[in-house]
Structure 1
């Protein structure tokens, strides 16, 4: 156990080194948020993958194949389609001007009101969604503290883990800025991929059965099914092939085309071609990451066959209970890496949008804004403690659902901005349409219990419909 703590402390020291090493390069706002666009696109690609690969991916993707099969890969196929659309259609517009925040592009087309509204929605959805990510990343640390003999309740141990994780992430994000975050992301990507491969190898070793035997058993149990062609009139159709592909594409268009945290890594490169390489390449890398973590979940099912396990916690428990020291410290560091890469990026992007879209840079420095949003994100991570016992779906679907309520209208905003036609209404009315589309999506989602893969197309269609019907109505009058 001492060696595990030594590994974790060494990891934290290395993260601090990156933060303080790059602190001297943050003299101006563009340095702090885009690193002067000097970073090679390959590093930005890995940073993008690390940012979107949160602890939800590391810990919850295995839960999907543990309790089900490989149907989540349908959505991953949709991710690649969606990123390609963004790379070819939306991205050229982002490189046509000299903007730091992608929401400035909306402001240039439609005015300040829509710019601030979409920035505000981004802020709320990020705080809620990434609060879940911070929560789940604290679980293995809490398990580790419990294994060390600390006699506190799981809630108290979780608070200790959350506090530690938040403090470390806030410090290197505030001190080092975007450049430190990117290169720390790259380091963390290698750490958590190594952690995943090691966990897979350990499971194969502990199962001690021929691959063909394990594969045959999983196939017999229906655990390796990939495509879902059967539509259920009364059931959950999240992974019906058509809905999954469309939903995955829309999720990716929304996240990588309209979400500042992820788009920031794309527009931080020098030119459009490099940005397109980052987008499409990241989709391919993420797909194979999903394959790795889903395979881990399948083997976990064989390892714990016959035992009652909470799917969202099964990988955490395996790591803490089955991995020997000091390799346990390496795997916990891998979980921290997947969490911290997302959280640091969230802090930086929230600081950016409020500095530029809300013009708070007139009164506050980038570091002051980053510090504020780091603390706010920590507070939001406490919310799952009050929700998790009553939420029927897994944590991954919970996080995707939160973002799905807002991504559809956000995509519509950028597609309308990309078009040549001007708005038929004022910017403030358009902002009202945007918010109404979100509330409509929430109402449809909760009222009809729709799958998260359908929420984004509904939000997209609602905002486009409101704009078009107002255009027709105003022409008649």
Structure 2
């Protein structure tokens, strides 16, 4: 166990080094949030992938194939389609001006009210969604502390783990700014990909006398390799019906990579449009193969545990803590931390950015003060899942996707309307009300009709577009 702790301490020291090394270069706001657009597009691509991957991917994607099959790849295919649409349609507009926050683009078209509304919704959805990610990433640390003999409740262990993770992430985010976050993301991407490949090889080596071919045939015989779902279930969950999954994945990706400041920030931080398009489309391809890696891990864990009663969302964490020897346990826990911290640091930086530019808080507070504030706020948001997980019917990954899906559809509609040449038939304030109303309608339909999360984004998109169209028709009368 001592070697595992040494590995983790060394990892934290490297992260601190990046934070303090780049601290002296963050003298201006553009330095702190975009690194003067000096970073090569390849590093920004890997930073984007690391940011969106998070601990939910590392720990929860294996649970999908452990309890099911490979159908989540349908959504990944939709991701590539969605990013391509953003790269070709929306991205040119973001490079046409001098905006730092993508919501400034909406403000220039429709006024300050829609700009602030988008920023506020982004803030709430990020705090709730990434609070879940922070919670998930604390689980293996809590398991590790329990294995070391700490005789306290699992809840308290989890809070201790959350505190440690939050403090480290806040420190290097506040001091290092965007440049430190990007290069730390690249390091963290390398670490968690290595961790995933190592876990895959370790599981294969521990399957005993079973050959690889026997394992593959067993998985095939029980339908674990199934990717496409063509059967429409009249009564059950149709999240992965092929049409819904690919369409939903495309809309989710358009919303996240076209309207979510945290992810778009990495794209507009490059020098030109062509580099931004490479980042977007290339990241979709890399993410597809990441999903494939972690889904393979989940299917092999199903064979490894051979029907043991282990909660699917915790099966990979359970394997890491109970089966991985030192010091490789420390490396895998570091990989989990890497996947979590890359997302959390980016969230802190982007929340600071949107409140500095979209709410004009940079008149009163420095970027570092704003980053510190949102880092602390994110820590408290991570405590919320302790009150939800036991009663939530879906997996923790789908829970995180669902939270964002309620807001992404209307957000996509806002940017598509801004891209169009026609002016709004209503004032900016009324448009903001329409935006909030469309989110509430999507929420009501999703909960009331128990809709799959892959349908929520298209529904939100159509709802806001429909409200604006009705307003145009009424204006003509």
- State the 1:222 CA deviation: 1.2
1:198 aligns with 2:164: no
1:17 aligns with 2:10: no
- State the 1:306 CA deviation: 2.3
Structure 1 residue aligned with 2:87? 87
Describe the superposition over 1:15-73 as per-residue Cα deviations: whole angstroms up to 9, x where unpaired: 00000000011000000000000000000000000000000000000000000000000
- SS of 1:39's equivalent in the other structure is coil
Query: What does 1:317-466 align with in structure 2 at a 5 Å threshold?
Result: 317-466=318-467
Structure 2 residue aligned with 1:42? 42
CA distance in 2 between counterparts of 1:250 and 1:445 reads: 16
Structure 2 residue aligned with 1:314? 315
- State the 1:215 CA deviation: 1.0
- State the 1:230 CA deviation: 0.3
Query: What does 1:18-167 align with in structure 2 at a 5 Å threshold?
Result: 18-167=18-167
Give ranges in structure 1 of 5+ residues lacking alignment: none
CA distance in 2 between counterparts of 1:139 and 1:296 reads: 18
CA distance in 1 between counterparts of 2:258 and 2:157 reads: 38
- SS of 2:39's equivalent in the other structure is coil
- SS of 1:224's equivalent in the other structure is coil
- SS of 1:53's equivalent in the other structure is helix
Structure 2 residue aligned with 1:278? 279
CA distance in 2 between counterparts of 1:99 and 1:233 reads: 47
CA distance in 1 between counterparts of 2:153 and 2:303 reads: 30
Corresponding pairs, count: 476
Structure 1 residue aligned with 2:264? 263
Query: What does 1:172-187 align with in structure 2 at a 5 Å threshold?
Result: 172-187=172-187
Describe the superposition over 1:389-413 as per-residue Cα deviations: whole angstroms up to 9, x where unpaired: 0000000000000000000000000
CA distance in 2 between counterparts of 1:237 and 1:287 reads: 21
TM-score (norm: length of structure 1):
1.00
Describe the superposition over 1:83-116 as per-residue Cα deviations: whole angstroms up to 9, x where unpaired: 0000000000000000000000000000000000
CA distance in 2 between counterparts of 1:184 and 1:212 reads: 39
- State the 1:223 CA deviation: 1.1
- State the 1:212 CA deviation: 1.4
CA distance in 1 between counterparts of 2:375 and 2:349 reads: 9
Describe the superposition over 1:380-430 as per-residue Cα deviations: whole angstroms up to 9, x where unpaired: 000000000000000000000000000000000000000000000000000
- State the 1:219 CA deviation: 1.1
CA distance in 2 between counterparts of 1:448 and 1:28 reads: 49
- SS of 2:393's equivalent in the other structure is coil
- SS of 1:207's equivalent in the other structure is coil
Describe the superposition over 1:324-380 as per-residue Cα deviations: whole angstroms up to 9, x where unpaired: 000000000000000000000000000000000000000000000000000000000
CA distance in 1 between counterparts of 2:445 and 2:222 reads: 35
CA distance in 2 between counterparts of 1:271 and 1:253 reads: 20
Describe the superposition over 1:102-133 as per-residue Cα deviations: whole angstroms up to 9, x where unpaired: 00000000000000000000000000000000
Describe the superposition over 1:128-179 as per-residue Cα deviations: whole angstroms up to 9, x where unpaired: 0000000000000000000000101000100000000000000000000000
Runs of 4+, deviation exceeding 3 Å: none
CA distance in 2 between counterparts of 1:233 and 1:410 reads: 30
**Which shows bigger deviation, 217-226 or 170-179?**
217-226
TM-score (norm: length of structure 2):
1.00
1:298 aligns with 2:299: yes
CA distance in 1 between counterparts of 2:444 and 2:163 reads: 35
CA distance in 2 between counterparts of 1:386 and 1:474 reads: 47
Describe the superposition over 1:170-218 as per-residue Cα deviations: whole angstroms up to 9, x where unpaired: 0000000000000000000000000000000000000132121111111
CA distance in 2 between counterparts of 1:102 and 1:125 reads: 16
CA distance in 1 between counterparts of 2:91 and 2:146 reads: 47
- SS of 2:88's equivalent in the other structure is helix
Root mean square deviation, CA, Å: 0.4
Give ranges in structure 2 of 5+ residues lacking alignment: none
CA distance in 1 between counterparts of 2:390 and 2:138 reads: 17
CA distance in 1 between counterparts of 2:470 and 2:213 reads: 59
- SS of 1:35's equivalent in the other structure is helix
- SS of 2:206's equivalent in the other structure is helix
CA distance in 2 between counterparts of 1:306 and 1:271 reads: 52
Query: What does 1:457-476 align with in structure 2 at a 5 Å threshold?
Result: 457-476=458-477
